[in-house]
Every structure is written in C-alpha cells, then in structure tokens.
Amino acid sequence: MNSRTARLKSIKRIISEYHVTSQEQLLAFLKKENVSVTQATLSRDLKLLKVGKVSDGNNGYYYTLPRNRKEMESTQQYIHDIARGFLCISFSGSLCIMKTLAGHANSVASALDNLEMDEVLGTIAGDDTILVVLKENLTSKQFIASLKSIIPELEIE
C-alpha cells in the first residue's frame, strides 16, 4: 500500500474513531501514528475524502466522513475518467492543454470540473484536446503535483 493510500486510510479511521475538531488536532493524531503530512496536503486529502464539519451542539464543530457512498463512488468515477483518457499535458502561463484519446476530451474535462480542484478555473473540451484555465500565478509543477495527489497513477512527463 503506498503512503498516500495508507495516509487516507489513517485519516478516515481517525475521523471515524475520534471527535476531531481541527486540522491541527488531526495532524497531531497522524503524527502519533508516524504519518508525516503537510497542512496543505492534509487539506487536499480532506477535500478528496469529502470530509465535512458538523455541529457538536455546543458552539463547536467536528469532522465527519460523507454518509453518501454514491458521492465517493462518483469521485472515483471522475478519477477513472481522467486516467482512462489522459495522454499528455503542456502549459503556457495559466493555460494548460491536455491531450486525450480521441473522443475522451469531454469526459476528462467534465471530470476535472466535477472534482472541483481549487487550481482549476474551468475547462473547454474539443474531441481530443482540453483547454484548462488555471488560477493566476499557479506553476505547472504545482498543478501537476495537485493532479498527481488526486490521481497518483497518472503518468505525467
């Protein structure tokens, strides 16, 4: 099991077993288990896992995992759509061009939009090419790192 998979599993277990009220508290639990993670990566993990906060009834909030299994399955389907159709990627400033297998651009672009990545402002799809508009001042390396954190098996050169 790779470190990302193990980390996500630990996060889910900790949130299920404990009344976690902050990322700092979650980082402390992970540290006790010798799981090293940055706050930025933890934020992405929480978003990927669709973790939410609910009221504890006493002016506080705690993390909770999604109850809707269908939502998690749809996220996995988006990841599968991207991995299945993706060929390569290139950049020019805050614009990104993704090449896909013929006929896959729409499903890959839709999946990117539905994953609601903070780095992506929007997509425009053709038949085998997608224009991805990235947030200003985002580097290609940052976008690739974010994409690979969601889809580690994606081969990006």
In a domain? residue 82:
yes
**pTM for the model:** 0.57
Ramachandran bin of 147, using left for φ above 0, alpha for ψ from -120 to 50, beta for the remaining angles:
alpha
Residue 1: what pLDDT? 47
In a domain? residue 155:
no
Q: Is residue 78 domain-shared with residue 145, that is, in the same domain? A: yes
Distances (CA, A) of 17 to 13, 23, 86, 133: 6, 15, 37, 40
Residue 71: what pLDDT? 61
The enclosing domain of 78 has a CATH number of 3.30.1360.40
In a domain? residue 43:
yes
Residue 73: what pLDDT? 61
Residue 5: what pLDDT? 86
In a domain? residue 34:
yes
The residue behind tokens 């090293």 is 36
Q: Is residue 29 domain-shared with residue 91, that is, in the same domain? A: no
Q: Which of 64, 83, 110 is the last residue of a domain?
A: 64
Q: Which of 28, 48, 64 is the last residue of a domain?
A: 64
Q: Is residue 50 domain-shared with residue 73, that is, in the same domain? A: no
- Which domain, by its residues, includes 52? 3-64
Q: Tell me the mean pLDDT per 10 residues along the chain, length 157.
A: 81 91 94 92 91 75 74 76 93 95 95 89 96 93 88 82
Q: Is residue 90 domain-shared with residue 26, that is, in the same domain? A: no
